[in-house]
A and B are shown apart, each in its own frame.
Chain A
Amino acid sequence: MKNNNFAKIAKATIISIIVALLFSIIIVAAIKIIVGNEISMAISLINKMSVEKTEGIQEKLMLSTEKNRLENYPTYGTQYGRIKINAVNINLPIYFGDTTEILKLGVGHYSGSYFPGEGGSIVYAAHNFAKYFGRLPKVKVGNIIEITTDYGNFKYKVYDTQVIHQSESDKLPIQDNEEILMLYTCYPVTGIGHKSHRFVVYAERMEG
Chain B
Amino acid sequence: MKFIIKTISYIFTFVLVLLIIAAILLGIVTKTVFNKDYIISKLDETNYYERVHNTFVTEVEDYLEQSGLEEIEIGNILTEEQVKKDVQNFFTQLYNGKTVTINKEDVKQQLETNLNKELKEKKITLTSIEQRAIDRVLDTITDAYATEVSYDTYSQYLEYLPKIMSIINKYLPIINTIIYVLPVALIILILLFNIKQFRIGLKYIGISILSSGILMIGIKLFTSIKMNLNNLYILSRATSDYIISIISDILNKITTVGIIGIIVGILAIIIGATYIEKN
Contact = CB atoms under 8 A, between A and B. Distances in A.
A129 interface: yes
A46 B211 contact: no
A5 B231 CA distance: 53
Kindly state the interface size class of chain B when it binds its partner.
35 or more
B276 A49 contact: no
A68 to B, nearest CB: 33
Contacts of A194: 136
A193 interface: yes
B39 interface: no
A10 B206 CA distance: 15
Contacts of B233: 49-51
Interface residues of A, number: 37
A175 interface: no
B110 interface: no
Contacts of B136: 192-194
Contacts of A19: 10, 207
Contacts of B270: 9, 13
B215 A28 contact: yes
B210 interface: yes
A130 B18 contact: no
Nearest to A15: B273
Q: What 4 A-B pairs have minimum CB-CB distances, sorted nearest first?
A: A12-B273, A50-B228, A192-B67, A20-B210
Interface of A: 5, 8-10, 12-13, 16-17, 19-21, 23-24, 26-28, 43, 46-47, 49-53, 104, 127-131, 134, 189-194
Interface of B: 10, 13-14, 17-18, 58-59, 62-68, 130, 133-134, 136-137, 203, 206-208, 210-211, 214-215, 218, 226-234, 265-266, 269-270, 272-274, 276-277
5 contacts: A12-B203, A16-B206, A27-B18, A27-B215, A192-B67
